[in-house]
Amino acid sequence: MGYTDKFRKVAVLGAAGKMGSGILLLTAMEMTDLMLQNKELKLVLYAVDVSADGLSGLLQYVQSQVVRAAEKKTVLLRKLYADRKDLIENGDVIEQYTKDVLATIRISTHLSDIYDSSLVFEAIKEDPKLKVSILREIDANSQESPWFFTNTSSIPIGELNTDAGLNGRIIGFHFYNPPAVQKLVELIPTEDCKPELIEFAKNYARNLRKKIVPSNDFAGFIGNGHFMRDALHGIIEAKKLNDQFSFAESVYIMNSISQDFLLRPMGIFQLIDYVGIDVVSYIMQVMNPYLPDEELHSELLDQLLTKGVKGGQFSNGTQKDGFFQYKKGRISHVYELKTGAYVPVDEIVKKSESFTGPLPQPANWKQVNFSPGKKEMLENFFSKLKSMDTKGAKLARNYVLESKRIGELLVNTGVAASVDDVNKVLETGFYHAYGPINNYFN
């Protein structure tokens, strides 16, 4: 069965979620492009979710995103619609393409509708038992021997393969959030993964213009293998600061260290908020049993969840309250654990800056990351940081070295095949200006 044939009937599980909706969007456009290249093809894509409410707004989301994508590829679309003489203006082409993409999608809340799918994308809750149950049900009721793409970011693929009895017909295909924007995909085959499935996955990623980084099948893979440990380091350092600062002040200081002093797009606590405190806590729970020599757990996250502080995002993309409250995308308040109230950030900034000391210049992630002279700017920044004796510089150096240790651990334990793979995941998937395995403080 060729590449195109495998798209005869496709399903996306968890289609109403942020990851699922992005996967649905990308797959719907890929399938539509295939049908425009071969007018005889009839392909269908099922959007499946337990939430009927969530599905109700899904098509509207897809429509708006397809219009934006179509505006960027009108030259290609004009070629694909060359036989349509009635499509005169670019707007006509974009409108028709949007209609064609939406026409491929069927909405459903019933698994039975997709039993005969040839290809299934799974993007449901990060729960091993739930995933196995659903994958097994589909496979048991199918005559198609479907291939499964799982978007899990932490569960070993081999475990899902064995427990669901899929015999190598599943592959880890970890999109980064949001899938429509992020260029990185972690590709995780099982030991017995079918070679033709791996080749199909590579072709699919190539057609979506994604960058593939292979990961070996260890819990958390490369991305969360680094992020969870990196987050735990930030939490531990904030706890140490809590001896002389309030909780809110400690969190803000370490967020500033991990953002401004490390030249990252977000501080570690802001990133935890973005992903979701509940999600980060759950991923740690999933990974921890597979790490006998480590304790990947945070009592602080447990406390916050007990108090109903979860972070994450609303369906419109705005940020929910977590370690911070946000106004127009910026931190406006910081959570104080003792009182359960949010403290205005203006009351914390001066005290934080007085403690950390000045930043080396230029100290702006965007300015550095998108500069043609990025390499020299980074070397200059960290050379200055290395020579500084401020508390902020010391905390930053420790953070950089811990991040490097984590990256090297992923290579040494066989999670990642190379230093380059670790660095590429953090640079591409997390938008870091540099990889964690570097020589800035050797």
**Among the ranges given (230-234, 254-258, 288-292), the one the predictor scored with the smallest mean pLDDT:** 288-292
What pLDDT score was predicted for residue 238?
Answer: 98
pLDDT band at 398 (very low <50, low <70, confident <90, very high): very high
Pairing of strands 184-189, 170-175: antiparallel
Instruction: Tell whether pTM > 0.75.
Output: yes
What pLDDT score was predicted for residue 1?
Answer: 62
What pLDDT score was predicted for residue 316?
Answer: 72
The pair of three-digit structure tokens given for residue 101, joined into one six-digit string:
């993409």
- Return the closest-CA partner of residue 251 out of 176, 306, 311: 311
Q: How far is CA 148 from CA 144, 179, 193, 271, in A?
A: 12, 18, 11, 29
The pair of three-digit structure tokens given for residue 286, joined into one six-digit string:
């999933």
What pLDDT score was predicted for residue 53?
Answer: 87
The pair of three-digit structure tokens given for residue 243, joined into one six-digit string:
């001896």
- Percent of the chain at pLDDT exceeding 90: 94
Residue 56 scores a pLDDT above 90 = no
At 322-370, the pLDDT tens digits run 999 999 889 999 999 999 999 999 999 999 999 999 999 887 999 999 9
- Return the closest-CA partner of residue 228 out of 413, 11, 410: 410
What pLDDT score was predicted for residue 149?
Answer: 98
pLDDT band at 76 (very low <50, low <70, confident <90, very high): very high
Whether cis (ω within 30° of 0) applies to the bond prior to 178 is yes
- Mean pLDDT of the chain, nearest integer: 96
Per-residue pLDDT, averaged over 46-74, amounts to 94
Contacts of 424 (CB under 8 A, 6+ apart): 184, 211, 213, 435
Measured CA to CA, the distance from residue 2 to residue 4 in angstroms comes to 6
Domains located in the chain, CATH noted? 4-214 (3.40.50.720), 223-429 (1.10.1040)
What pLDDT score was predicted for residue 378?
Answer: 96
Helix (H, G, I), strand (E, B) or coil at 283: helix
What pLDDT score was predicted for residue 260?
Answer: 96
Measured CA to CA, the distance from residue 314 to residue 335 in angstroms comes to 19
Residue 317 scores a pLDDT above 80 = no
Per-residue pLDDT, averaged over 123-152, amounts to 96
Contact 230, 272 (CB under 8 A): no
Pairing of strands 119-122, 211-214: unpaired
Helix (H, G, I), strand (E, B) or coil at 174: strand
What pLDDT score was predicted for residue 313?
Answer: 86
What pLDDT score was predicted for residue 363?
Answer: 79
Per-residue pLDDT, averaged over 233-258, amounts to 97
The pair of three-digit structure tokens given for residue 339, joined into one six-digit string:
């009182």
What pLDDT score was predicted for residue 54?
Answer: 87
- Return the closest-CA partner of residue 286 out of 216, 220, 189: 220
Measured CA to CA, the distance from residue 436 to residue 405 in angstroms comes to 8
At 365-396, the pLDDT tens digits run 999 999 999 999 999 999 999 999 999 999 99
Contact 5, 42 (CB under 8 A): no
Measured CA to CA, the distance from residue 54 to residue 51 in angstroms comes to 5
What pLDDT score was predicted for residue 118?
Answer: 96
Pairing of strands 330-336, 184-189: unpaired
Measured CA to CA, the distance from residue 10 to residue 45 in angstroms comes to 5
Measured CA to CA, the distance from residue 278 to residue 270 in angstroms comes to 14
- Return the closest-CA partner of residue 13 out of 170, 192, 187: 170
What's phi and psi for 422, nearest 5 deg?
Answer: -65, -50
Measured CA to CA, the distance from residue 302 to residue 278 in angstroms comes to 9
Residue 343 pairs with which residues in a beta bridge? Answer: 334
